[in-house]
Chains A and B, each alone.
Chain A
Amino acid sequence: MQIIPQIETPVGENYITFEENLIKLLGTIEKTGLNNQNAGRDFPDIIIEQNFGVNGLLLCKDLKDRLGNINTAYAFTMRDKNRISILSDLITLKQIGVKDIVVSEGVHPLKTVFNSAKPVYDVDILGIGLILKRGFMNYPGGIADKDEPDFFNLGVVVSASAPVDGLKAKKLINAGADRFIINYTGKNPDEDIIKYIKSEKKEIFLYVKESYIEDSLKDFIRANERLNLDGIIIKITDEKANVFTRQ
């Protein structure tokens, strides 16, 4: 099992300091021994989630090229980007060689401090699969080349708390999703849905906000071992003080 931190781009901090702290964090995680060294470790070391401030694409490139060849995944939400912005990001990601992306619909603005904001939701995560893997909106010079239909590894964040989630998972598999990331909401995910996704030979991860981890991280991992996951993605809010540094 692989343990992967996910963090949002910093608002105003010097991004070089931020990156240095991320490298220290990855070293800390490595020292905890939580990552199973025998596992495939196919997923990148860290997920950079585009939010305010510094451009996540820049961080992904800088961490890969300048700072110790750290392999990153780029995460964004359908809430914040229309198809023009998404295509722009995908073309840039391809140019800088970032293959791993994680997409979610995104928390509705009504559940955030920006409750009067107009969300985008122009394309949903199934639409991203169609764009990346099925040639939908394949503009000239676009991102789904005939020669490289599988350039991107598409990770999709889904729920696994009702039977209808299994139907969505099936559609996502048909649309070309490579990895499934189950959103942990405090309740145990539906194991039948997880088994179904595994039976389709797809990697499966649990996405959990660190605030949900009440006891130690080791205990949380142990409690979810029965799910036979490929990894756990832990959303942290502070690169210096978080569930990993408290171990």
Chain B
Amino acid sequence: MFLTEKKDIKEIDEALKKYKKIGVIGCASCASVCLTGGSKEVRDMEKHLEASGKEVTFTISIDEPCDKRVLKEDIRFVEDEMEDTEAVVVLSCGTGVQTIGEFIGKKAVAGTDSKYIAQTEHIGEYNALCGGCDECRLNFTGGVCTITLCPKGLLNGPCEGHIGINCEVYEDKECVFMKSYELMTKYSEEENFNKIFNPRDYGLSLKRTKI
């Protein structure tokens, strides 16, 4: 899941100040799970906009607004209302906001702050485990991502700052390289103890963007 958090409502109001007729689009996937873009949050946004003197032209929750195929199907339900709409508030991650903005050709205002790919512990408690770094090294690290879990993002750790098993930055937490070592031992992957990772190729990340 991609974690989002609710934006400061003042920022949304400021972004919408030029517009009168507003649509509200929620995300029934990730944003729904983290309670930033589900049907309740869409209704709350509708109430807020109406209380602020705006005319809400439509509300809709789209299963996956980041998927153009799904978006194309679902947006048909509000096709007529969309014509009369000046701007939309999108309660999804930044990918959803941009996908919708491009698709409808109208102002799309972000209603959330995009955070990170998250593991859900409980609703409201999330962990970042994967940074989406192009070349997954989990098969060589005992199955933990040191790039994401080490505050320094090291490939070949630990750093000189850890004390005993604890992290330099989060002193009460275990250094991820200790965990990696433990898991490699547990799975009898001692051959990976000596693996040296070359510096990352950051050129790869440019290949996934489209302007």
Complex contacts, A83 vs chain B, CB 8 Å: 199
Question: CB-defined interface of B135-179 with A at 8 Å, one 1/0 digit per residue?
Answer: 000000000000000011111111111111100110000010110
Is A157 an interface position by the 8 A CB rule? yes
Asked if A127 and B164 sit within 8 Å, CB to CB, the answer is no
Is B181 an interface position by the 8 A CB rule? yes
Which residue of the partner chain B has the closest CB to A83? B199
Give the distance to chain A from B7, nearest Cβ to Cβ, in Å: 20
Complex contacts, B165 vs chain A, CB 8 Å: 162
Is B196 an interface position by the 8 A CB rule? yes
Give the distance to chain A from B70, nearest Cβ to Cβ, in Å: 35
Asked if B194 and A171 sit within 8 Å, CB to CB, the answer is yes
Which residue of B159, B178, B196, B202 contacts A130 across the interface (Cβ within 8 Å)? B196
- Asked, given contacts A104-B160, A105-B160, A167-B193, whether A136 binds B198 with beta carbons under 8 Å apart, the answer is yes
A157 and B159 CA atoms in complex are apart in Å by 9
Give the distance to chain B from A163, nearest Cβ to Cβ, in Å: 7
A201 and B163 CA atoms in complex are apart in Å by 26
Which of A110, A121, A174 is the most central at the interface, judged by chain B CB atoms within 10 Å of its CB? A121
Asked if A187 and B163 sit within 8 Å, CB to CB, the answer is yes
- Asked, given contacts A164-B178, A168-B156, whether A123 binds B162 with beta carbons under 8 Å apart, the answer is no
Which residue of the partner chain B has the closest CB to A119? B152
Is A108 an interface position by the 8 A CB rule? yes
- Asked, given contacts A110-B151, A183-B160, whether A163 binds B199 with beta carbons under 8 Å apart, the answer is no
Question: CB-defined interface of A103-147 with B at 8 Å, one 1/0 digit per residue?
Answer: 011011011000000010111111100100000110000000000
Give the distance to chain A from B209, nearest Cβ to Cβ, in Å: 19
Which of A104, A137, A171 is the most central at the interface, judged by chain B CB atoms within 10 Å of its CB? A171
Give the distance to chain B from A31, nearest Cβ to Cβ, in Å: 31
A124 and B154 CA atoms in complex are apart in Å by 7
Is A198 an interface position by the 8 A CB rule? no
Complex contacts, B160 vs chain A, CB 8 Å: 104-105, 157-159, 183
Asked if A162 and B162 sit within 8 Å, CB to CB, the answer is yes
Give the distance to chain A from B169, nearest Cβ to Cβ, in Å: 5
Is A242 an interface position by the 8 A CB rule? no
Asked if A122 and B158 sit within 8 Å, CB to CB, the answer is no
Which residue of A127, A163, A168 contacts B157 across the interface (Cβ within 8 Å)? A168
A126 and B157 CA atoms in complex are apart in Å by 9
User: What size tier do the contact residues of chain A reach?
Assistant: 35 or more
Which residue of A127, A136, A159 contacts B158 across the interface (Cβ within 8 Å)? A159
Asked if B164 and A187 sit within 8 Å, CB to CB, the answer is yes
A108 and B202 CA atoms in complex are apart in Å by 21
Asked if A126 and B168 sit within 8 Å, CB to CB, the answer is no
Is A225 an interface position by the 8 A CB rule? no
A161 and B159 CA atoms in complex are apart in Å by 11
Which of A107, A111, A122, A159 is the most central at the interface, judged by chain B CB atoms within 10 Å of its CB? A159
Give the distance to chain A from B161, nearest Cβ to Cβ, in Å: 6
Is A170 an interface position by the 8 A CB rule? yes
Complex contacts, A162 vs chain B, CB 8 Å: 158, 162, 164-165, 175, 178
Complex contacts, B151 vs chain A, CB 8 Å: 108, 110
Contact surface of A with B, Cβ cutoff 8 Å: 79, 83, 104-105, 107-108, 110-111, 119, 121-127, 130, 136-137, 157-159, 161-165, 167-168, 170-171, 174-175, 183, 185, 187
A121-B154, A127-B199, A161-B164 given; 18 more Cβ-contact pairs under 8 Å: A108-B151, A111-B161, A121-B153, A122-B200, A124-B156, A124-B157, A124-B199, A130-B198, A130-B199, A136-B198, A158-B160, A159-B162, A162-B162, A165-B158, A168-B157, A168-B158, A175-B196, A185-B161
Contact surface of B with A, Cβ cutoff 8 Å: 151-165, 168-169, 175, 177-178, 180-181, 193-200, 202
The 10 A-B pairs at the shortest CB distance, nearest first, are namely: A126-B156, A105-B159, A183-B160, A127-B199, A123-B199, A164-B181, A157-B160, A108-B169, A159-B160, A121-B152
Q: Can you offer 12 A-B residue contacts whose CB atoms are under 8 A?
A: A105-B161, A107-B168, A122-B199, A125-B156, A126-B155, A130-B199, A159-B162, A161-B164, A167-B193, A168-B158, A171-B156, A187-B164
